[in-house]
Amino acid sequence: MDFGGGDEIRFDRQGKAGIVTLTRPKALNAVTHGMIRALDKALDAWADDADIAVIVIKAEGRAFSAGGDIQHIYDAGKAGRPPIDFFADEYRLNAKIKRFKKPYVALIDGIVMGGGVGVSFHGSHRVMTENAIFAMPEVGIGFFPDVGGSHMLPRLKGSFGMYLGLTGTRIRRGDACWSGLSTHSIDAAQLPDLVDAIAESGLPDEALKTFAVSAERETDEAMTHVIQKHFSLGTLDDVLTSLAQAAPLEPFTAKTLETMKTRSPTSLHVAFRQITDGAMLSMDECMQLEFRVVNRMLHGDDFYEGIRAVVIDKDNRPRWRPATLEEVDPNDIDRYFAPLDEGELSL
């Protein structure tokens, strides 16, 4: 089946399932504009196809998807052509997946970050294997946890989403299942059989009853209470003050604070606000909020500096502007969230 996307994404029909496979393993299945457009076309076609009862999305290689095509975004932005159309189409697709009426089963086996999260974790079934690693590390490259992070992160248990968004911490399937991020866990060796079962019946819940396994969370109950204590506070300053006060007695807290100090100060302020605001917004409203922010990010400094430091030069020494949290002007943060003169994202 050809919905476009070339050799980057494949579409197949198996029994009652529409099967999507990300096929850029050498690039860790980083999501490109062509992949986004192709998946969008496939969902439109399969939504009205009576013979397709369920969508399954999976990937080749050791990563589900390590994010978006950052190199392309960097090159276009530095050339004075920020790829806003890429983000507009990506955010529309994220919203479409969220409201898709048929079961949408994401099989996460390996790394999933950024853009990969956007095409998987808004579906009805988020299935993670023992190889799965989830992260939203955007504040570390001067960006923000987009692709629906505004909607997803504030709805996790125990302020865990705020913690993930402000630190970029990587988690495995046990924490993902506990927090509500993942709906099921499965052993990687069983994935082919699970796909066959879903395709045969068209009923993912029934198939998962056979193959799902329990996954013990990696962060114990005591530590989740510590996270909630610090990351449930009303302002970013309150969070940082709480962490600083506890740091001398809590090694975990001290490490967390040091991690946050390496992140873009602007990104931390933006992420805190988007996650706070997103708790009260619908998915569509969150995507419109994020589109406002990304328009400003693409014309700023920190995003390109973060990519330079982490991806291009790999010196891991970004020079943020402003350089400290205290130097960030609240009025500048307000401008990231202000309505767009050129019009809001249409959904």
Catalytic residues, by residue number, are 68, 115, 138, 146
Q: Which of helix, strand or coil describes residue 276?
A: helix
Q: H-helix or E-strand containing 201?
A: helix 191-201
Report residue 207 CA to chain centroid gap: 26
CB distance 224 to 169 below 8 Å: no
> In whole angstroms, what is the distance from residue 279 CA to residue 155 CA?
7
3-state secondary structure of 13: strand
d(CA 150, CA 162): 10
Give the 3-state secondary structure of residue 15: coil
Phi, psi of 231 (to 5 degrees): -100, 5
Cα four-point dihedral sign 193, 194, 195, 197: positive
DSSP H or E segment with residue 134: strand 133-135
Structure-block tokens of residue 97: 């997946």
Please name the amino acid found at residue 215: A
Q: How many C-beta atoms surround the C-beta of residue 217 within 10 A?
A: 17
